[in-house]
């Protein structure tokens, strides 16, 4: 069988899972050989059921919450009919499967997962992100047995809070939702997430849910009253902690800072490092165009082209004798703007540059290491000359000129070689 190649960059493999609106496939990056997971969503279906804003929010959130215990989003691509999330491949499967296979986890193992879960949730909350659907099925395990939170499709951001400072959308998985969520009177995102974490801890140690009943309304009454019983094998420390986590009153429920001081929680705790880039949060929240999830470059009109070139030959686009110098350059490409942006993001990741982009196709790369004159920073701007031809202008905004020249000649140009049509008037 012929390999299924996506966008000329990824070889799609087996189906890993599917939901109502998406399928997730194993895939391999053809250039680096790296394994990834690609979530494929039907654009028409998303628009039809009014989920485009939710999809935009999920993309923005996953780029905001870079943490070692959160599944990482590498890039987003789109065609006329599909939207593709290229994500970190976590091949250990769901934490839920661990519980099913073992029945119950040993206290030390459950504590390690719970510590990593709280670290991830705390980082999300520090970025103004509230998951709202935490459960073992949305927690994955990697090769090292470390957990990673996934599926931010129901998450909330600060702008979703009403004037009373609360969220009002009832969502989540019934057995894991906090009592204040089902009362429809408003709830805090942080408090609701902590309740769900408490249910997860209970499941890991007990092997079953604290609140369950065939009748949904009966189960909700149990949740509202905090009506559950710990199994006999729970230690006294665990019992006290679960009691504070599953407190039906969100005002007295334990908080993350209080959790960090709990003796049982602190035992052997090693805070993981957040994978923080120099990120402009506002820029990321505007990252996805509301209609297509594809970047929109500015168009060059006739006057723009004349200002760049004294002639009508395309190579003349690069013959600005007054302005041309070693710290500024241009190239053309017949690849779509989304592919150019994705390639720049790939180069940034490969050479450890931070990456920022805006929906009008402006990109900034910033070096992670400080050079002789500070951090090297390069701005890119993509212009549409015709629907099938794009002009990219780049220039150094900070850093050492020699470092800039070396990076361009040794790293940037080779990395862009297969998408560049002409560079500085020379065929590529």
> Do 354 and 279 touch, CB atoms closer than 8 A?
yes
Cα separation, 287 vs 76, whole angstroms: 10
Do 295-427 and 4-88 have the same topology in CATH?
no
Residue 373, SS3 per DSSP: coil
By annotation, the residues acting in catalysis are 133
Question: Which pLDDT value is given to residue 184?
Answer: 79
- The fold adopted by the segment(s) 4-88 is Phosphorylase Kinase; domain 1 (3.30.200)
What Rg, from alpha-carbon coordinates, does the chain have?
Answer: 25
Q: What angle do CA 188, 191, 194 make, to 5 degrees?
A: 145
For 13, the enclosing helix (H) or strand (E) is strand 10-18
Residue 200, SS3 per DSSP: helix
The overall average pLDDT reported for the chain is 84
pLDDT tens digit string along 28-55?
A: 999 999 999 999 999 888 888 888 888 8
Question: Which pLDDT value is given to residue 274?
Answer: 57
Question: Which pLDDT value is given to residue 303?
Answer: 46
Specify the CATH class of 295-427 in words: alpha beta
Cα separation, 137 vs 175, whole angstroms: 12
Is the full-model pTM beyond 0.85? no
Cα separation, 34 vs 299, whole angstroms: 35
User: 268's torsion region: left (phi>0), alpha (psi -120 to 50) or beta?
Assistant: left
Q: Which residues of 19-57 are buried (b: 16+ CB within 10 A; e: fewer)?
A: eeebebbbbbeeeeeeebbbbbbebeebeeeebbebbbb
> Do 175 and 199 touch, CB atoms closer than 8 A?
yes
Backbone φ, ψ for residue 163 (5° rounding)? -60, -25
Cα separation, 331 vs 428, whole angstroms: 10
Select 95-266's CATH number: 1.25.40.10, 1.10.510.10, 3.10.180.10, 3.30.460.80.
Answer: 1.10.510.10
409 contact partners, CB below 8 Å, separation of at least 6: none
Cα separation, 293 vs 295, whole angstroms: 7
For the chain, the structural domain boundaries read 4-88, 95-266, 295-427
In the 8-state DSSP scheme, what is residue 156? Answer: B
State the SS3 of 144-189: CCCEEECCCCCCECHHHCCCCCCECCCCCCHHHCCHHHHCCCCECH
> Do 223 and 176 touch, CB atoms closer than 8 A?
no
Query: Which residue intervals of 148-266 are DSSP H helices?
Result: 179-182, 189-206, 216-225, 236-245, 256-259, 263-266
Q: If the chain, 428 residues long, is cut into consecutive pieces of 10 residues, what is the mean pLDDT of each piece?
A: 81 87 92 94 86 86 90 89 93 87 92 96 94 94 92 89 89 94 92 98 96 94 96 96 97 96 94 56 39 53 50 41 56 87 89 84 86 85 84 89 89 89 63
């Amino acid at each position: 069988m012929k390999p299924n190649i996506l966008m000329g960059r990824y070889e799609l493999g087996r189906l890993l899972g599917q939901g109502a609106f998406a399928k997730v496939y194993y895939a391999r990056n053809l250039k680096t050989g790296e394994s990834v997971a690609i979530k494929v969503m039907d654009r028409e279906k998303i628009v039809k059921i009014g989920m485009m804003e939710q999809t935009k929010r999920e993309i923005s959130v996953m780029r905001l919450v870079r943490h070692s215990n959160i599944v990482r989003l590498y890039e987003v691509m789109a065609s006329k009919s599909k939207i593709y999330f290229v994500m970190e491949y976590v091949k250990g499967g769901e934490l839920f499967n661990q519980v099913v296979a073992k029945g119950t986890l040993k206290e030390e193992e459950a504590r390690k997962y719970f510590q990593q879960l709280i670290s991830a949730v705390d980082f999300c909350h520090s970025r103004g992100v509230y998951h709202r659907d935490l459960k073992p099925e949305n927690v994955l395990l990697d090769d090292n047995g470390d957990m990673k939170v996934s599926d931010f499709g129901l998450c909330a951001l600060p702008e979703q809070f009403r004037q009373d400072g609360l969220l009002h959308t009832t969502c989540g998985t019934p057995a894991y939702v906090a009592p204040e969520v089902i009362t429809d009177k408003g709830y805090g995102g942080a408090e609701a997430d902590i309740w769900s974490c408490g249910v997860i801890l209970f499941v890991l140690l007990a092997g079953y849910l604290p609140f369950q009943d065939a009748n949904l309304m009966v189960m909700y009454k149990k949740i509202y009253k905090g009506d559950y019983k710990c199994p006999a094998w729970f230690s006294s420390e665990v019992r006290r902690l679960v009691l504070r986590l599953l407190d039906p009153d969100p005002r007295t429920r334990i908080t993350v800072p209080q959790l960090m001081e709990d003796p049982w929680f602190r035992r052997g705790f090693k805070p993981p490092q957040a994978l923080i880039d120099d990120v402009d949060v506002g820029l990321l929240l505007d990252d996805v165009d509301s209609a297509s999830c594809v970047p929109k470059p500015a168009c060059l009109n006739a006057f723009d082209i004349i200002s760049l070139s004294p002639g009508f030959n395309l190579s003349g686009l690069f013959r600005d004798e007054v302005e041309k110098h070693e710290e500024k350059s241009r190239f053309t490409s017949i690849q779509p703007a989304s592919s150019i942006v994705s390639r720049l993001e790939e180069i940034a990741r490969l050479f450890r540059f931070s990456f920022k982009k805006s929906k009008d196709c402006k990109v900034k790369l910033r070096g992670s290491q400080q050079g002789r004159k500070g951090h090297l920073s390069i701005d890119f701007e993509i212009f549409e000359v015709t629907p099938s031809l794009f002009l990219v202008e780049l220039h150094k905004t900070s850093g050492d000129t020699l470092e800039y020249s070396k990076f361009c000649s040794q790293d940037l140009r080779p990395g862009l070689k297969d998408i560049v049509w002409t560079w500085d008037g020379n065929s590529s």
